[in-house]
Structure 1
Amino acid sequence: MTVPGPASSYRSVPVSFVRRSRRLSDTQQRLWDEQRLRYLVDVPRAAATTSVDPGFVLDLAQVPPGSGPVVLEIGSGQGDAVVAAASARPGTRFLAVEVYEPGLAHTARRAAAAGVDNLRLLQANAPEVLASALPEAGVDELWIFFPDPWRKARHTKRRLVDEPFLALAARVLADGGVLRFASDWEPYAEQVRGLLESASDFAAHGTTTPDGWAPRFEGRVLTGFERKGTAAGRVVRDLAFARTPRA
């Protein structure tokens, strides 16, 4: 990987998250200190603590270790999906992008307990990772499961997935690589489906239900969050779209 000199610019677009508490308990801090060198990628910063220096490019030939396909999860939370997948697919290499330190600490602890070594973590703003920190066409699957739906009308502009984001996703996905999305907030899922159907860089992948959704992705473990949403009467919608071949 390359590590450039100090950055001089500041963010010119909104970030994909809102600041929340980053406090770790004493036990969490101790475990995080033990595991961060094993799992956390050292990302040089630009303007903020979760920014990415635009000159930094992760060497996917070395990180994560191995030569298998690369799966990138954005918004990995507590690590439920990515740790389970990394444990079940040891020949696949996983990268998890998350901004919140307690979530990263929990993910690292889970990975260590499962003996997982094909996973690495990045504490960074996702669009900046997609824009410059990953090589073009270096990712085989991109997962976005249950991102914040920003339900209030005045807040929908803060949603992670929009046209500029899909352009960045198309940059990092290999030809034929699959973007997988899931949400239990149907208006958001419908918005994302419309964006993907209109994007020339993507085409529907695999089979779809009669109403146009992808079947539930079997590689996504059923989490407490998903169970809670289902119990509240919300329907989980899945999408799967493949990166069309580059010209």
Structure 2
Amino acid sequence: MTELTTASAPASAAPAASTAPTAPTAQGSAPAGVTHPKTIKSFVRRAGRTTTGQAKAFEDFGPRFVLPYTPAPLDATAAFGRSAPLVLEIGFGMGEATAHIARVRPDDNFLCCEVHEPGVGALLKRIGEQGLTNIRILQHDAVEVIDHMLPPGVLDGVHIFFPDPWHKKKHNKRRLIQPPLVAKLAARLKPGGYLHCATDWQPYAEQMLQVLSAEPLLQNTADGFTPQPDYRPLTKFENRGLRLGHGVWDVVFVRRN
């Protein structure tokens, strides 16, 4: 899988846990000792080889499903050819979970940001193979997409699954889930819209829970972590981790009215 900051399901190994951890007791905008970078960035570029099949998918399906980045508000109805609830996904890796969710939720539109070219090609290939029509891809930094293409109150949901955990404490500041980004996302959710994050790294899960809990526009849907929503599938990496006894944590918050 991609090693982008917004990667979907990296093979990181969270500590074994039989039950979900409780919420951290310390309150604040970020966990103690963890600062956020001055400039938010949703990814780290890495090298990767695009396969012949992925390249063909770019050729066959890219013109329809890959949107150009433009620093202007997105006309989602025109982009998708219909009016429907809009869900933003940040970092879809190779697109396995994205394609599954789009298939089981055909009435929703999914705007998906990923910069890793093999991952974009892989998702385009899945779109073609599965006949999906409710996905559009922006191969661009999600933060700039949020800042310039998504006005306040436009989103019905946000998915951030298995972002890079940046395990070492000195690198924690590189983590995607930080107060500035969460504030941007919360402002772009409609009242009642949701933000769903998942990780297989317990310290990051605790940071996610604390940062989201500190955002005044958001409210937790559970008392701490939530059971895995039925629309999010188990990826092959997640299944492997579960067989090894690793934990997976989901958090789902909603925008207050």
Bin for the TM-score computed over the shorter chain = 0.7 to 0.9
Q: Deviations over 1:199-247 (max 9, x none)?
A: 1010012x44xxx2111111101111211222332210110100112xx
Whole-Å Cα distance in 1 between the matches of residues 78 and 250 of structure 2? 32
Checking the alignment, whether the CA contact within 8 Å between 1:216 and 1:238 is kept in structure 2 is yes
Name the stretch that deviates more: 222-231 or 114-123: 222-231
- Partner letter of residue 81 of structure 1? A
Whole-Å Cα distance in 1 between the matches of residues 209 and 74 of structure 2? 30
Whole-Å Cα distance in 2 between the matches of residues 82 and 25 of structure 1? 20
Q: Deviations over 1:146-178 (max 9, x none)?
A: 000000111111000100010110121111100
Whole-Å Cα distance in 1 between the matches of residues 207 and 168 of structure 2? 14
Task: Tell me the residue number matched to 2:8.
Answer: none
Task: Tell me the residue number matched to 2:248.
Answer: 236
- 2:101 matches 1:75: no
Q: Pick closer, same or farther for the CA change 1:67–1:199 going to 2, 3 Å.
A: same
- 2:50 matches 1:24: yes
Task: Tell me the residue number matched to 1:159.
Answer: 175
Checking the alignment, whether the CA contact within 8 Å between 2:104 and 2:231 is kept in structure 1 is no
Checking the alignment, whether the CA contact within 8 Å between 2:45 and 2:115 is kept in structure 1 is no
Task: Tell me the residue number matched to 1:39.
Answer: 65
From 16, 36, 39, the counterpart of 1:13 = 39
Structure 1 residue 14, shift from structure 2 partner: 4.7
Checking the alignment, whether the CA contact within 8 Å between 1:76 and 1:98 is kept in structure 2 is yes
Structure 1 residue 31, shift from structure 2 partner: 2.5
Whole-Å Cα distance in 2 between the matches of residues 69 and 181 of structure 1? 19
Task: Tell me the residue number matched to 2:231.
Answer: 219
Structure 2 length normalisation: TM-score?
A: 0.81
- Partner letter of residue 119 of structure 1? I
Whole-Å Cα distance in 2 between the matches of residues 27 and 183 of structure 1? 29
- 2:126 matches 1:114: no
Whole-Å Cα distance in 1 between the matches of residues 205 and 84 of structure 2? 30
Task: Tell me the residue number matched to 1:131.
Answer: 147
**SS of equivalent residue, structure 2 residue 79:** coil
Structure 1 length normalisation: TM-score?
A: 0.84
Task: Tell me the residue number matched to 1:94.
Answer: 110
Runs of 4+ in structure 1 deviating by more than 3 angstroms, as ranges, are: none
Whole-Å Cα distance in 2 between the matches of residues 215 and 16 of structure 1? 26
Whole-Å Cα distance in 1 between the matches of residues 131 and 53 of structure 2? 20
- Partner letter of residue 56 of structure 1? A
Checking the alignment, whether the CA contact within 8 Å between 1:60 and 1:138 is kept in structure 2 is no
Task: Kindly report which structure 2 residues correspond to 1:48-87, keeping only aligned pairs within 5 A, or say none.
Answer: 55-87=71-103
Structure 1 residue 119, shift from structure 2 partner: 0.8
Task: Tell me the residue number matched to 1:170.
Answer: 186
Checking the alignment, whether the CA contact within 8 Å between 1:181 and 1:240 is kept in structure 2 is yes
Structure 1 residue 187, shift from structure 2 partner: 0.4
Percent identity of equivalent pairs: 38
Structure 1 residue 62, shift from structure 2 partner: 1.7
Which one scores higher on RCO, CA 8 angstroms, separation ≥ 6? 2
**Could you list the runs of 5+ residues in structure 2 that have no partner in the other structure?**
1-37
Q: Pick closer, same or farther for the CA change 1:149–1:106 going to 2, 3 Å.
A: same
